[in-house]
Structure 1
Amino acid sequence: MAKRSRRHSGGTIRQLPSGRWQVRVRDGATSKLVALGTYATKADANAALRHAGADQDRGAWVPPERGSVRLEDYARDWLDSNPRIRSPRTRERYDGLLRLHIGPTIGQAAIGKITPASVRRWHTDLAASASSDTAAKAYRMLRAVLNTAVADELIVRNPCRLDGAGQERAEERPLATVAEVNELADLVDPRWRLLVLMGAWTSLRFGELAALTRADVDLMRGVVRVTKSRQRLDDGTSVVVPPKSAAGRRTVAIPPPLVPEIEHHLAAFAQEGADGLLFVGAKGAPLDRSHWNRRWRRARAAIGRDDLRFHDLRHTGNTLAAATGASTKELMTRMGHSSMAAALRYQHATDDRDQAIARALGEAMERGKVVELDDRRSG
């Protein structure tokens, strides 16, 4: 039999037959007593009641029943109604994170029961079983879902409070030399030669290159306009979507030696008409990543660079662009990044440029010495 309730300001506590202490809090909006939970000791129960009262005083208390929804169910609704998730490929990635790494584990808990400790245990287990990038992506998704739960007043505070858990540590990628880029372009079929050259010297991503049309290339101005990207979905189909951010929609200047290559490609291989694709197969099919990867693996093996991904050509172009002395803003614009983090990485990687700066400073110092010596002699 439960012991008589002891009334406190804002609620009651009572000891249950099990020996645990039950806390009920008076909801200021309805004046009804709401079960807060049970606690092992009377002291813990009193502390919980005081904390609930303090939260009510500062307008930060949420009735426990609001947080009773299962995290996996709430996350699925969040995914279905999120206006920022427009890209089909992005939707697939979130689906995978929820299905494989959030739903089966922490996703089975009620949102109101998730604590910083339970998030920490989940992340530790995930980091041990999946790649660091996957763990970071899953953590960012969980944090975003629970931020929305705070906004929906299902919980008071987001329990995702692990410093750095959502940051991906990009591995240092290999760099292709200019000579290697040219070798790779020579080794692939002539139809794909320009794909390799533009991958390096215009810094376009594979999906951006696959979506280019004749109308996107302006040889009079010497620029290529990036307005869309082709994405391959898990079912093998592909879709053309706008860039993820405003920074992805950009105009990129073409290095002059590349212009004759583009002119030849347009005449020999591109589809006809303004909307004709720049890169298509011999039978007119759009460029497909899986088919291209087979050709790419053969070409890189022929030059002994099995470590190179196609995306590393972009890395080569960006690094050399940074070495020209381009500013952070200029690099961000050319690469299509809204964050300066990537541009700064390329700037930090240009040791050759730093040596050139040092030589220029040395020349200035030497000129200054000559002027100073001439002044002394004339005096």
Structure 2
Amino acid sequence: MAAIKHEDCDCPGRRKPDCAHLTYRVAYRQAGELREVPFKRLEDAESFAIGVERRKDLGARLDPEAGRRVFADVWREWVEAGALEESTKRNYQSVYGNHFGRTFGSMEMADIAPADIERWEAYQRGRGYAENGVNGRKNVLSSVFNYAVTAEIIGRNPCRKVNPHRRAGRPLTPIGDDDIPAMEEVMGIIAEAPKLIRAGFWAMAGCGLRPGEALAISSASMNWDRGILAVDHQVSAYGCQKISGSRRGVKRGTKSRGSGEARRTPVPHSIRQVFNDHVDAFGMWGDRGWFFESPRQNDRHPSYDWFLAQFKVATTAAGTPRYTPKSFRHFFVSEAIHSGIPLFEIAAWVGHRTTRTTELIYGHLVRRSMHQGALVMHNRLGLDLAPLQGSIPLPSLHPSGEAADDQDDAA
């Protein structure tokens, strides 16, 4: 698959739309060779990437030699491909040695079939491993095969429809109207937020971000010209030392997406102005131009727990202590559904893997929107057609000849 990469230039964030740097690169494989083509605009890069995929559909094939690579070789490449800390790499190698090497290590990637995955699962369960452990290791396997598909080493993932972030059997909890704050309540909570992180509260309500994602907004992730935010980092208790300079802080990847994956969400003009005002007041720091800095330490991200504590203080001061940061995401999705935005777009914006997740959580809103849609069409069609009742011929249920004979007989 053609992948679009964005490499940041040295121009200030608000100058980037006018600079001459080719910051977008389309990476793809052709005849087993990795190629990259640079572009200035994202639209041009997307158009080229679509063309690459279309040419493949018209007859291009995967390099058969790539599929002959053994699993052990691709595993090593997958481990090195991400920005992982050495301790994480060691953990992966331990998992490989204990659970994958003996079964898959010497197998060629193109020869690994779904039946092989099923036999491996049965063997794991036969050894007495817990179901959660087996599923977790299968998710790791699926990630390796997904990487191989993206790198055009193989054409399909033999793990089938493995969800790499399944909830261990816990059902999704639908929300009710009481879980969604009104616009006035959202404004009241934001008004009580510390000015240092108030823009993060706006990002949750206006862009549907999770708390950790809101804290990891940077100028590098903002397309100021188009009003689009690339959500590809999050602040957590265990971040990446290479990025943050300490163990606690930001890391690449977000929920349901790994390192290197990003989802995109629209940034309303009013929120862009909030971000601009925040930068004017507090500045930015770090190579990516991070928006939010710890109130206690320079060049450090705010603590995730501190951010949640400040939200709780703000909701209490606003007289709405029942709300949590998730309530702001509920507000965002609710407004989007009521505005008639397609469900698949909303799911992509907030980071749901499929629209099924969105439907399960916000089902009552979806049903309400369907009722509203039916009412709109009734008003549009029913009222307009009312004066014409009796003058619009109904379609015949018989061929034209039979209908004519029936009319003659009736006469």
TM-score range, shorter chain: 0.5 to 0.7
Instruction: Pick one of 173, 182, 189 that aligns with 1:184.
Output: 189
Contact 1:230 1:239 in 2 (8 A): yes
Matching of residue 86 in structure 1 with residue 82 in structure 2: yes
Q: CA deviation at 1:320?
A: 2.5
What is the alpha-carbon distance in structure 2 between the residues aligned to residue 351 and residue 226 of structure 1?
30
TM-score by length of structure 2 reads 0.50
Structure with higher Rg: it is 1
Q: Report the equivalent of 2:173.
A: 172
- Cα distance change of structure 1 residues 172 and 89 upon mapping to structure 2, 3 Å threshold: farther
Contact 1:245 1:338 in 2 (8 A): no
Q: Report the equivalent of 2:342.
A: 327
1:281 alignment partner AA: S
SS in 2 for 1:171: coil
- Cα distance change of structure 1 residues 86 and 216 upon mapping to structure 2, 3 Å threshold: closer
- Cα distance change of structure 1 residues 353 and 84 upon mapping to structure 2, 3 Å threshold: farther
1:88 alignment partner AA: L
Matching of residue 316 in structure 1 with residue 331 in structure 2: yes
Contact 2:83 2:259 in 1 (8 A): no
Aligned residues: 280
1:119 alignment partner AA: Q
Kindly report the root-mean-square deviation, in angstroms, between the aligned alpha carbons of the 2 structures.
5.0
What is the alpha-carbon distance in structure 2 between the residues aligned to residue 115 and residue 165 of structure 1?
17
Q: CA deviation at 1:170?
A: 5.0
User: CA-to-partner distance for each residue in 1:97-153, whole Å, 9 max, x for gaps?
Assistant: x98xx799x8599649x7655434568x635xx7xxx774344336778999xxxxx
What is the alpha-carbon distance in structure 1 between the residues aligned to residue 369 and residue 202 of structure 2?
23
Greater RCO, CA 8 A, separation 6+? 2
Q: Report the equivalent of 1:266.
A: 279
Q: CA deviation at 1:297?
A: 3.8
What is the alpha-carbon distance in structure 1 between the residues aligned to residue 314 and residue 284 of structure 2?
25
Instruction: Pick one of 292, 307, 311 that aligns with 1:279.
Output: 292
2:214 alignment partner AA: L
User: CA-to-partner distance for each residue in 1:182-216, whole Å, 9 max, x for gaps?
Assistant: 33322321222221121121123444433323455
Q: Report the equivalent of 1:241.
A: 252
- Cα distance change of structure 1 residues 363 and 135 upon mapping to structure 2, 3 Å threshold: farther
Contact 1:203 1:317 in 2 (8 A): yes
Identity of aligned residues (%): 15
Structure 1 gap segments, 5+ residues each: 1-73, 149-158
Structure 2 gap segments, 5+ residues each: 1-70, 105-118, 148-157, 240-245, 393-411
Contact 2:347 2:353 in 1 (8 A): yes
Q: Report the equivalent of 2:64.
A: none
SS in 2 for 1:350: helix
What pairs with 1:125-136 in structure 2 (closer than 5 Å)?
Answer: 126-127=130-131, 136=135
- Cα distance change of structure 1 residues 196 and 176 upon mapping to structure 2, 3 Å threshold: farther
- Cα distance change of structure 1 residues 327 and 246 upon mapping to structure 2, 3 Å threshold: farther
TM-score by length of structure 1 reads 0.54
Instruction: Pick one of 287, 290, 293 that aligns with 2:308.
Output: 293
Q: Report the equivalent of 1:66.
A: none
What is the alpha-carbon distance in structure 2 between the residues aligned to residue 362 and residue 195 of structure 1?
42
Instruction: Pick one of 223, 230, 234 that aligns with 1:226.
Output: 230
- Cα distance change of structure 1 residues 298 and 166 upon mapping to structure 2, 3 Å threshold: closer
Query: Does 357-366 or 114-123 show the bigger shift?
Result: 114-123
SS in 1 for 2:229: strand
- Cα distance change of structure 1 residues 110 and 161 upon mapping to structure 2, 3 Å threshold: farther
What pairs with 1:198-237 in structure 2 (closer than 5 Å)?
Answer: 198-214=203-219, 216-217=221-222, 221=225, 223-226=227-230, 228-232=232-236, 233=238, 236-237=247-248
- Cα distance change of structure 1 residues 115 and 182 upon mapping to structure 2, 3 Å threshold: same
Contact 1:185 1:197 in 2 (8 A): yes
What is the alpha-carbon distance in structure 2 between the residues aligned to residue 315 and residue 93 of structure 1?
36
